A and B are shown apart, each in its own frame.
Chain A
Amino acid sequence: MARVIVNLPASAKRGEIIEIRTLAGHSMETGFRRTQLGELVPRDIINRFVCTYNGAEVFRADLHPAIAANPLIVFTTVATESGTLEFRWTGDNGFSATHTASISVV
């Protein structure tokens, strides 16, 4: 169950800097841990997070092992015009989650 939470203001003034908070539910298994029988637990992490604002990329992050489970990514962008923001997380084992949010800029 890919579960994500995105929190951003519903509206903003033009040119205002807005804070966007994103949380993705993911175990972020590092690939370095072993079971009690000594077998390596295969790596299973989110590799990349991308945010686009009306189609233009405004933020991107590469994620690596040793980033905590359920990664919280907080970033800012400038509210330029009304439209939609799209968030996409992709990772190992075909993990993919998307979320869209709209903002009205006045």
Chain B
Amino acid sequence: MRIVFFVLAFFPPALSAEIPLAERRSGYEFMSRETRAMQDDEATGPAALWLLDGEALWVRQAGESARSCADCHKDMKGVAVRYPAVHSSRLVNLDQRINICRLEQQKAPALQLEGRELLALSAYVGRQSRGMPIEVPVDAKTRPHLDAGRAAFQRRQGQLNLSCAQCHDRHWGGSLAGNPIPQAHPTGYPLYRLEWQSLGSLQRRLRNCMIGVRAEPYAYGAPEYVELEYFLMWRARGMKLETPAVRP
């Protein structure tokens, strides 16, 4: 009992000290001048390659319906800032929503999660909301998902026994192995990460952090990831979308 007391005295359980709204900063502000220049270079930034692919896929007919995305949807402005959202009683992110449309409307096979084509499409859709404030709606139906996401964010996990909040709520601005610790706002996904040399989704980034604390990552598309994504988007409410961003 005494041991437990001492452990608690020196390592108090993480208190929910969330970052005040006015102090939130995008990961962009933690980047070097050179990396910022890459993100600002819209025409020849690395993500431009995926945007072109996404544009081509958007107008390409697919599946038994022989319809393209563009046949039904004109403008996707403001869509990406509202996801994850509930679709037929399941919380889905934008990538999963695109696949639902493919399965149900286009009668085409779902695209592989984290595959080049789905990333290109979701970057193309996300690009149209660039600069708009993130605004995931929260209501009675989605509240349990938000709470589950917040609990996951604050839960210690992995062999290092760290929670997301310990780094990103309490130690942002510090450094980890020489790299700045950002506040973990998902403002630019899918984004081009220099470490990946490729575009990747928020789930891939979450997977990285989970491996970092030596926890077992979930499979892509797992509801636990989507709930965490939902919480992170809510946490970044009002911040401007930067899709497709560049990060180191």
Contact = CB atoms under 8 A, between A and B. Distances in A.
A, B bound: yes
Interface of A: 1, 3, 5, 7, 21-23, 25, 27-28, 68-70, 72, 74
B198 A23 contact: no
A103 B46 CA distance: 24
Contact of B44 (A22, A68, A69): A22
Interface of B is mostly: loop
A28 B46 CA distance: 14
7 contacts: A5-B44, A5-B49, A5-B52, A22-B44, A25-B49, A28-B197, A70-B49
Nearest to B194: A68
Given A3-B52, A3-B53, A5-B52, A27 B44 contact: no
Interface of B: 41, 43-46, 48-49, 52-53, 194, 197-198
Contact of B46 (A7, A22, A23, A74): A23
Contacts, number: 33
A28 B45 CA distance: 17
Given A1-B53, A25-B49, A70-B49, A7 B43 contact: yes
A39 B46 CA distance: 29
Contacts of A1: 53
Contacts of A23: 44-46, 48-49
A7 B44 contact: yes
A22 B48 CA distance: 11
B52 A72 contact: no
Given A1-B53, A3-B52, A3-B53, A70 B46 contact: yes
Contacts of B52: 3, 5
Contacts of A21: 41, 43-44
Contacts of A68: 194, 197
B35 to A, nearest CB: 12
A106 to B, nearest CB: 23
A37 B98 CA distance: 34
Nearest to A68: B197
Nearest to A70: B46
